[in-house]
Amino acid sequence: MTRWGRLLVRSLGWDALRCNSTPKKLTNLGRAHLNCRLGRMWVASHPYVLIVDVTNLCNLRCRFCPTGRGEYGRQKGILPLATFQQFIDELKPYLYLALLYDWGEPLLNGELPRMIAYAEQNNICTSVHSNLCVRDDGALRELVDAGLSHLTVSVDGVDPCSYRSFRTGGDFALVMRNLAGLLEYRSRSGRRKPRITWKYVVHRANEAYVEKARQMAREIGVDAFLAATIQSEDSSVLPRGTFGSMPGQDQKRCSWLWTTVVLHWDGCIGPCCYQFRQEDDFGRYEPGEFMRIWNNDRFQVARGLFGGAGGAELPPPVLCLHCHKVESRRR
């Protein structure tokens, strides 16, 4: 397989490429990566990955997460189904993936199953990342019935003690019961989707249990296990060993500015999943106006940081100026 082919598979997965490709999507995908490679600031290509923060509400208080610490960055709320559908309608000729999570617990949005179904019906793979700390079996079954492509479940321990060292307010037994029930319902329904990943965020307090968690994941029957190092500036919580990094951490050029867009619950547009404060938004979505936002000053400034222009002549400065990828590029 070519380097280009490996990049696409790693970014999108075989299912999205095999089942969701159209000539228009493939052409746009190629143009987006060409624009990224050339560092173009104004682009005619569209993003092919959508990140939707369906809510910034959460039922846990994880101490290393801004939401868990009460740092919401904007008002708390839930994305209306109508706004989601309007956005999908405008971008569906180009989208391969819709990631329906960011800074909150997506299952707290009661419209989530209908969002999943709407995207899947429009030939867009969907992914949800959940703590699975919910006491509603029906909501979990609805994820399967809606046609969800991929579910990542955060389980950062092997017992209540190791789990609560990170997931404050969580219930380990409830999560494991929900996970087992979800797998059983998927099997009983005769479906292959969603593909389920057990994600284990590794920090100093739970590092010793990674292999035990991997074994538990294998025994319960999930499709994949992922151990990823916690993101923190506090060296005392970092694991001593080496584990995988979060997506995108190893890239020195930010391809997101050409390939991916974030829709917050309040209709505001952001450049990447790390951005959550309202003052750092790049615009507010209006139906039929996406490309105007996609090529506004803020997006062009950000792309210019990687394209050689440096954004020197285009105000205002943006969040990207302080991104580690920009800082490493300047060194």
Instruction: Give residue 252's pLDDT.
Output: 60
Is the predicted pLDDT of residue 3 greater than 90, yes or no? Answer: no
Instruction: Give residue 59's pLDDT.
Output: 86
Is the predicted pLDDT of residue 72 greater than 90, yes or no? Answer: no
Is the predicted pLDDT of residue 1 greater than 70, yes or no? Answer: no
- Band (pLDDT 50/70/90 cuts) for residue 64 is confident
Is the predicted pLDDT of residue 331 greater than 80, yes or no? Answer: no
The average pLDDT across 23-27 equals: 94
Instruction: Give residue 308's pLDDT.
Output: 56
How do residues 256-306 score in pLDDT, each as one tens digit?
999 999 999 999 999 888 877 888 889 999 999 999 999 998 999 888 888
Instruction: Give residue 330's pLDDT.
Output: 54
Instruction: Give residue 91's pLDDT.
Output: 97
Amino acid (one-letter) located at 190:
G
Instruction: Give residue 133's pLDDT.
Output: 93
- Band (pLDDT 50/70/90 cuts) for residue 2 is very low
Instruction: Give residue 244's pLDDT.
Output: 65
Is the predicted pLDDT of residue 14 greater than 80, yes or no? Answer: no
The average pLDDT across 3-15 equals: 53
The average pLDDT across 112-135 equals: 95
> In the structure encoding, which two tokens stand for residue 215, read together?
């074994």
Is the predicted pLDDT of residue 135 greater than 80, yes or no? Answer: yes
More reliable by pLDDT, 301 or 17: 301
Chain-wide mean pLDDT for the chain? 85
> In the structure encoding, which two tokens stand for residue 203, read together?
């920090």
Helical segments of 155-296, H only: 160-164, 172-189, 210-220, 256-259, 290-294
Instruction: Return the closest-CA partner of residue 273 out of 92, 53, 114.
Output: 53
Quick one: what percent of the chain has pLDDT higher than 70?
A: 84
Instruction: Give residue 277's pLDDT.
Output: 83
Helical segments of the chain, H only: 3-12, 14-20, 23-38, 81-91, 112-121, 137-145, 160-164, 172-189, 210-220, 256-259, 290-294, 297-307, 324-330
Instruction: Return the closest-CA partner of residue 269 out of 32, 59, 65, 90.
Output: 90
Instruction: Give residue 149's pLDDT.
Output: 93
Rounded to the nearest 5 percent, the helix, strand and coil shares of the chain are 40, 15, 45
74 and 57 in contact (C-beta within 8 Å)?
Answer: no
Instruction: Give residue 327's pLDDT.
Output: 58
